């Protein structure tokens, strides 16, 4: 039981640190939030390529899967899983395999929002 609660603590700490890194990059380099998100997504892909992102997910749960870095990680995961099954072509066919939930949910819900919501100020 104590282990379950520690997951929440590590989710907070690790998720917070990833966001704090994003904020420091944004403030020090004066890059736009878009640049920072691109940097983090590429960083997530590279970390997974080095085999470092999975241990982070096991350790921090949603603290590692909710920040945008996990999108890069999931892209590499899908590509490699499919490449194991079908060879090199799997990298292309599998790249969106795991990220389908995020991308399709965002498209469908964003579309519905544009149907029902009015622009605010």
Residues 35-54 that bind another protein (CB under 8 A): 36-38, 40-42, 44-46, 48-49
Among 23, 29, 52, 86, binds another protein (CB under 8 A): 23
Asked if residue 32 lies in contact with residue 22, where contact means CB atoms within 8 angstroms, the answer is no
Number of chain residues interacting with another protein (CB under 8 A): 74
Q: To the nearest 10°, the Cα dihedral for 15, 18, 23, 26? A: -150
Report the residue number, 2 or 117, with the smaller CB distance to another protein: 117
Task: Give the Cα separation of 78 and 81 in Å (integer).
Answer: 5
Shortest gap between Cβ of 25 and another protein (angstroms)? 8
Q: What is the largest CA-CA distance in the chain?
A: 51
Residue 27 sits in the site that holds another protein (CB under 8 A): yes
In angstroms, what is the minimal distance from the CB of 93 to another protein?
Answer: 12
> Taking CB under 8 A as the rule, does residue 111 contact another protein?
yes
Helix (H) or strand (E) holding 56: helix 53-60
CA atoms within 13 A on the CB side of 52: 7
Minimal distance, residue 76 CB to another protein, in Å: 5
């Amino acid at each position: 039981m104590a282990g379950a609660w520690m997951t929440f603590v590590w989710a907070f700490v690790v998720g917070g640190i990833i966001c704090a890194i994003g904020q420091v990059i944004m403030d020090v380099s004066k890059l736009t939030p878009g640049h920072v998100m691109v940097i983090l997504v590429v960083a997530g892909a590279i970390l997974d390529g080095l085999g470092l992102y999975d241990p982070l997910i096991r350790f921090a749960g949603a603290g590692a899967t909710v920040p945008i870095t996990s999108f890069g990680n999931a892209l590499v995961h899908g590509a490699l899983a499919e490449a194991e099954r079908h060879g090199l072509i799997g990298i292309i066919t599998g790249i969106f395999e795991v990220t389908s939930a995020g991308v399709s949910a965002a498209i469908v819900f964003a579309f519905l929002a544009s149907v029902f919501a009015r622009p605010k100020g």
